[in-house]
Chain A
Amino acid sequence: MIIKLQAKEIVFGYDSNPVLDSVSFEIAPSKLVTIVGPNGSGKSTLIKCINKIVSPQGGSILIDRREVAKMTRMEVARYLSYVPQSSVRIFPTNVFDTILMGRRPHIGWLGSERDEEKVWDVLQLLNIERLAMNNFSELSGGQQQKVLIARALVQEAEVMLLDEPTSNLDIWHQLDVMNIIRDVVKKKEITAIMALHDLNLASYYSDRIIMMKRGKIVAVGDPHSVITEENIASVYRVQAAVRKLSDRPMIMPLRQIRGSKA
């Protein structure tokens, strides 16, 4: 089953500050979609609205034409998995148990061999089986990110939401994590939607980019149509040079645009 995700006029705000202002989009199945935009543009909030971590004050999210707001959390968790930006563990938990958490929407009280097999499969898929018995908090940032992705994968949801999966990672690990995401999107035929800061990574890996500014979508489309000098100037207030590299637009930021807020 391949599902489609729709957002219709999502509104969200804290008190009187609107964070999301009538956001609508549609995402076709089995794609890698990134949401880009300056700090505070509402990328992370949009991700959290999609899977009901926060409830939008207006509008609706539809998965397979079913409204997320009317589904139980457990039902939502079977459709949508989530990879947080980072995870602070107060109590020691090993990697295996951390990933096993993702089986919760499918698991019985005792937990079965089958659930554990799924964890081993994903550990091998991401090539991190050797870490299974390590304490999660003692892993490096890149390893932690992979474990969080693994947890989302065992959830077996058709859409994976990721909140800035490459922040705090060096460039080797940024590529490592992005390659993993691209591979699983292809192999497992799932959709990945991620908030991302790095425009070049977004351009290089995405099938589609959603560009946001102050809670509104300003551009949607393939990297060529969204990553343009004009868009970057108006959304980020940065003058940048955009050049083609490996058939993808790559940007080089040149200078800030001062003066009145665009």
Chain B
Amino acid sequence: MMSGKALFFRAKTRAEMSQSRRAGKRSAMQTAHDRFKLVRIFFVLGIAALLVFLTGLIITLGPLEISVADAYSALLARFLPDHFQSEALTSRVVWNIRFPRILGGMMAGFGLGICGCVMQAVLKNPLASPFTLGITAGAQFGISMAAVIGFSVLGGPYFIIGNAFLCALLCSFFIIGLAAIKGATSENLVLAGIAVNYFFSAISQLLKYFASDEQLRLMTNWGMGDLAAFSWANSQLLLAVFVICVPLLMSKCWDLNIMTAGDDTAKSIGVNAENTRLFIMATSSLLVAVIVCFMGIIAFVGLVAPHMARMVIGGDHRFLIPASGVLGALVLMSADAVGMNLMAPTIIPTGIMTSIVGVPFFMYLMMKGKRKEFWT
């Protein structure tokens, strides 16, 4: 119990402290907090700069010699022809061969990183990834159906990818619908996802069992994830989905921060936990489905990019979402560059290379990072 006098003194000190703060003086803790805020901003800006740098660097890799400077001027010459010049051959190689693949990797990595980040938050599960909701199983099922049975929803140029996209979406919306009826707790969503995953995987396996060698090859290639499938033609659809989904996910950053504290707490602070969870899962499913149908299964990035970001900048989604996206893009681009050039002219599929390069790197971060270090 505090005496009246002591209480008076404590109150006085507090009044003084807040007065001095208003006068511009900041305590040591506040300075530390200010520094941490700067670290977060500079980290996001730094990795974004690294992304730009790496783009130039990766363009130089390949049979035709292109310097880093030539790479940038070839890229910029398109937009600012008065200021930058580029040889026709260089420009063709950069714009038609090397840059599309890099851009594809960048977009896929960015999208998967962001989706992993928001899904981990709403499912309160560090193991959640863009594939938790049966998106992979759905897409795989769509591909198997097109390849083995010859059934496609859209036909034409979308014979296979159209199937992958629609089945992936169908699968995830089935799970989301199930959870919406039963109560969209994170446990319900994860459980339903696992169950549906097994079901569709089993059907895909069954179809595989009856498939010819040619059909099997098609299914396997897609399953390994390949950026070669990305082209300027399909970049527009991808871009359109990005432009819609990414701002939608970013707009929920405060709610995501709060959702990690549990549903009861979230509700008490004014966040409708169940609706937010459904909204985030539906939006990110759309983003993942469009990535998966063009580029196949690239599983690892979505799981670890958010963890890497959290290790450095903590759990505030205002910074964590962009950081996860950019880190995902960095990991995927670098891994693909290694896969393209390690055994050239043989190209190692992107999905395989991402895991081979990414897992040791992630293990290194896990071993090295002391928990304390996340905060300073």
Contacts and interface: CB of A to CB of B under 8 A. Distances in A.
Interface stretch (A129-137, A219-227, A236-244): A129-137
Contacts of A72: 270
Q: How large is the interface on A (under 10, 10 to 19, 20 to 34, 35 or more residues)?
A: 35 or more
B126 A133 contact: no
Contacts of B257: 93, 97, 101
Given A76-B270, A91-B120, A97-B316, A124 B310 contact: no
B371 A92 contact: yes
Contact of B258 (A84, A91, A104, A121): A104
Given A90-B260, A129-B27, A101 B269 contact: yes
B254 A109 contact: yes
A182 B258 CA distance: 27
Nearest to B275: A73
A156 to B, nearest CB: 12
A53 B316 contact: no
Chain B, interface SS category = helix
Interface string B270-291: 1110000000000000000000
B374 interface: yes
B262 A88 contact: yes
A84 B120 contact: no
B205 interface: no
A94 interface: yes
Interface in A131-167: 132-135, 138, 155, 161
A90 B123 CA distance: 10
Contacts, number: 120
A88 B310 CA distance: 17
Interface string B3-18: 0000000000010011
A74 B266 CA distance: 10
B30 interface: yes
Contacts of A80: 268
Nearest to A134: B375
Given A90-B125, A93-B314, A132 B264 contact: no
B18 A121 contact: yes
A175 B255 CA distance: 33
A73 B271 CA distance: 7
B251 interface: yes
A104 B260 contact: no
A109 B33 contact: no
Interface string B318-352: 10000000000000000000000000000000000
A31 interface: no
B271 A104 contact: yes
Contacts of B372: 135
A91 B315 contact: yes
Given A91-B120, A93-B260, A133 B29 contact: yes
A97 B314 CA distance: 9
Contacts of A12: none
Contacts of B316: 97
A192 to B, nearest CB: 14
B238 to A, nearest CB: 26
A90 B265 CA distance: 14
Contact of A73 (B27, B120, B272): B272
Given A91-B126, A92-B371, A110-B318, 10 more contacts: A52-B267, A84-B262, A93-B260, A97-B315, A104-B254, A120-B21, A125-B14, A132-B30, A132-B32, A133-B29
27 contacts: A53-B264, A72-B270, A75-B270, A77-B270, A78-B270, A82-B265, A87-B261, A88-B262, A90-B124, A90-B125, A90-B126, A90-B260, A91-B121, A91-B315, A92-B315, A92-B375, A93-B260, A93-B314, A101-B257, A101-B258, A104-B271, A107-B254, A109-B253, A123-B29, A132-B30, A133-B29, A161-B268
For the complex of A and B, the 8 pairs showing the least CB-CB separation, nearest first, are: A77-B270, A82-B268, A74-B270, A93-B315, A105-B270, A73-B270, A132-B29, A104-B269
Interface of A: 48, 51-53, 72-78, 80-82, 84, 87-94, 96-98, 101-102, 104-105, 107, 109-111, 117, 120-121, 123-125, 129-130, 132-135, 138, 155, 161, 179
